[in-house]
Amino acid sequence: MTYRRLYQPKVKTGNWFEELLIKEDTIKEFLNKRGRGELLSQKVDFLKQNILKPVNLSATINGQLRFGDVVMLVNVGGADREHSALSINANIDNLVKTSPPSIKIPCGVSGGRGIQSCVRTAFIITSVDGSPEGSTLHFDQSFALRTTSGFAKGCAKKSGLQDVYLDETLSILSRWKISHFDPQERFESEGLPVPANEKVLVVHCMTNQGLAVLSEKQLWTAYGREYEVVAHTFLDTHRAEQDVNFWILGTSDPAGDGLLFLRHLQLEVHVQQPT
């Protein structure tokens, strides 16, 4: 004769007490982390709430860029890629919960597909030669790019070219200049005021390499799939720069009608030689 044991729902089997303690500890740890804001979802929300906070771009009255202007650097795009903005590529480990929140450096940059003016995409044109704030920026004049919360510098993760990244120190690696995008007009434009919201080249002074966005080298970031940004000049068969090197330093409309550069379509930037 075969005997079978009958268990009622209230009967506990196995290591039930240990499993209960583990479950209680897990819940307690979850609640403690949530209280301290240490959950992954909370970190992501904190990052995006701060780095995606809207920033007002400077308004150009005479159409010329000035030192102290808050601008967006927007790549004009091409047949194989969308418009993209130079963006701080900060993750949850880069943002420090100080008051106000700050970015842990060094920190990378990327070509973000979202064209909105925010902490992540806003940069300040900063003097490195003693030019006073508010004075006009000229072609081939050195300057630095500073974020609204710090400065940017340049080997790239995928391409092996000169990387562009954010750092806090102001050095020769942080110096850039603007050149005319058309080689035939470049010499004549030297010393002239740099126009806002028009296509130009952003050139690294030390290496003479142009800021570029690479459509074939894409990065997965906390903000989605974005383009790698490097300092490298890409030339066509006529020895002219390609559209990956074309940028617009975008400002807002003085009349309050949005971003002017959309109608034509905030750390220092340093560069490091590839090893």
208 and 248 in a common domain: yes
39 and 106 in a common domain: no
Q: Classify residue 97 by burial, with Cβ atoms within 10 Å: 0-12, 13-18, 19+.
A: exposed
Does the pLDDT value for residue 151 go beyond 50? no
35 and 61 in a common domain: no
Element (H, E) at 179: strand 176-180
37 and 153 in a common domain: no
255 and 164 in a common domain: yes
Domain that holds residue 154: 55-272
- Direct distance between the N- and C-terminal alpha carbons of the chain, in angstroms, rounded to an integer: 80
178 and 129 in a common domain: yes
CA 267/CA 140 separation, integer angstroms: 21
Does the pLDDT value for residue 265 go beyond 50? no
Element (H, E) at 16: helix 16-36
Mean pLDDT of 94-116: 74
| Contact (Cβ atoms closer than 8 angstroms) between residue 271 and residue 206 | yes
176 falls within a domain: yes
Q: pTM for the whole thing?
A: 0.76
Mean pLDDT of 101-110: 75
144 and 32 in a common domain: no
257 falls within a domain: yes
What count of residues does the chain have?
A: 275
Residue that the structure tokens 């240490």 belong to:
38
64 and 48 in a common domain: no
What tokens does 119 get? Answer: 């902490």
136 and 88 in a common domain: yes
2 falls within a domain: no
Give the model's pLDDT for residue 185: 93
154 and 227 in a common domain: yes
Q: What CATH code is carried by the domain that includes residue 267?
A: 2.80.10.50
Does the pLDDT value for residue 52 go beyond 80? yes
pLDDT digits (tens, 9 = 90+) for 175-197: 899 999 999 999 999 999 999 99
